Structure 1
């Protein structure tokens, strides 16, 4: 074998090793630290919009089998577990079908009593204070409407965020009282009249199903623009949302 052929073979092998190392590093980062997600629906408007791309902090709550690619059944429960806080925006596996990822706001901790009365969230018998905070209109084709009333809620731990209240008589505006079981959480979307959450078929979310806490918006495209439509990016990029923290 000539020196030239040996050099080509060596360069090829070095390139393969770099690619393998990069893939391993990306897998480790995705598994252990941060995982990208895209927002497919308007259930978390106005906090998260359709077309937002976010990083989820997987270290925040520790790890379960759902933290791993393909969710292998290697162990149960969570390791290096940390308790989420009321008000966190959480990505989790849908309890009736753990192959599906959901994102909602955590409003109920284990032992909490949660109820919605005339559109007002109540935690342990106390209404969560809220004040009107303008209106919201989405650039998403299946938006909740124009000039939807926005209400800013403030939880007892100081976490504050905006919610939408399109109708005062939607089916989620008056609920039974839910008592959150040990090891479970109660989730609600910020778009209160257009969110399938723990008030409905999601039910209580087991701690094992938590993937992580939504951390930052790293990319955002409006007007139903597909990520593949690169030529539309300049006109439809939501520049003001890039690298915005999720609150």
Structure 2
């Protein structure tokens, strides 16, 4: 969230400035006074203690990997409510915290990548979906079937989904293997809830994203005003589940089998 990044940046700069000012000026003045008066002020002491920690967290979170918790069922069956994931922050270029401006281009999303981003109609929050359409692609969704550039995407039936616990709220829904060009992944299909039908052509510098829970996902098909994700709104590529914890303080369960699962 923007507010957390802002607080982290402000605290890092503030503690760093206090530490630097003390090192360059204040410490010398104290050294010229009596031993009692030369004691390090509490504010300086805390700044020197917290600055390295805050700086390390800021660098890791902004340029290496950022944690994110799955808040909804829109990416089931691959990502469940309560999954804690890591997002690669350099796959699509290094970006500044707060304003998300790219300053080092390193790569672009590929079809099938699971990405975290700020949707154009909700820029204060991070969402997660799968990249379906690249710039220039024509994407169509009709009768629960996906079409890319006029070609029907193939599906292989994988039976019905049966899980346990709160994140597995779609028992009995058809489970399919979707064969995106270059990437296979599981999706849900509920023929009783077909929604988001239409056809769209992805403009330059934008992407078309969809949830794997195709009939229960607020994605590019349903977004107001514009249906496409601007490149500058990307936050990173989801790559690993490091924890699954249901409810506050894991009161509803802990699923150890999810730990270390790669996100395909």
Same-fold call, TM cutoff 0.5:
yes
Give ranges in structure 2 of 5+ residues lacking alignment: 1-33
Work out the number of aligned pairs and report it.
229
In 1: Cα distance, 2:213 partner to 2:103 partner: 30
Corresponding position of 2:259: 242
Corresponding position of 1:151: 176
Corresponding position of 1:80: 105
Corresponding position of 2:85: 54
Matched, 1:90 2:115: yes
1:14 CA drift (Å): 6.7
Matched, 1:204 2:215: no
Q: Is the 8 A contact 2:242 2:260 kept in 1?
A: yes
Corresponding position of 2:56: 25
Matched, 1:126 2:148: no
In 2: Cα distance, 1:243 partner to 1:184 partner: 31
- TM-score, normalized by length of structure 2? 0.78
Q: Is the 8 A contact 1:78 1:208 kept in 2?
A: no
Higher helix share: 2
Corresponding position of 2:199: 177
Structure whose CA Rg is larger: 2
**Structural RMSD (CA):** 2.6
Aligned runs of 1:214-233 on 2, under 5 Å?
214-222=238-246, 225-226=247-248, 229=249, 232=251
1:191 CA drift (Å): 0.2
Give ranges in structure 1 of 5+ residues lacking alignment: none
1:177 CA drift (Å): 1.5
- TM-score, normalized by length of structure 1? 0.83
1:185-244 per-residue CA deviation (whole Å, 9 max, x = no partner) reads 00000000000101111610000001000010111024xx22xx25x4xx8211111011
Q: Is the 8 A contact 1:113 1:178 kept in 2?
A: yes
Are the structure 2 counterparts of residues 193 and 144 from structure 1 closer, same or farther at C-alpha, using a change threshold of 3 Å? farther
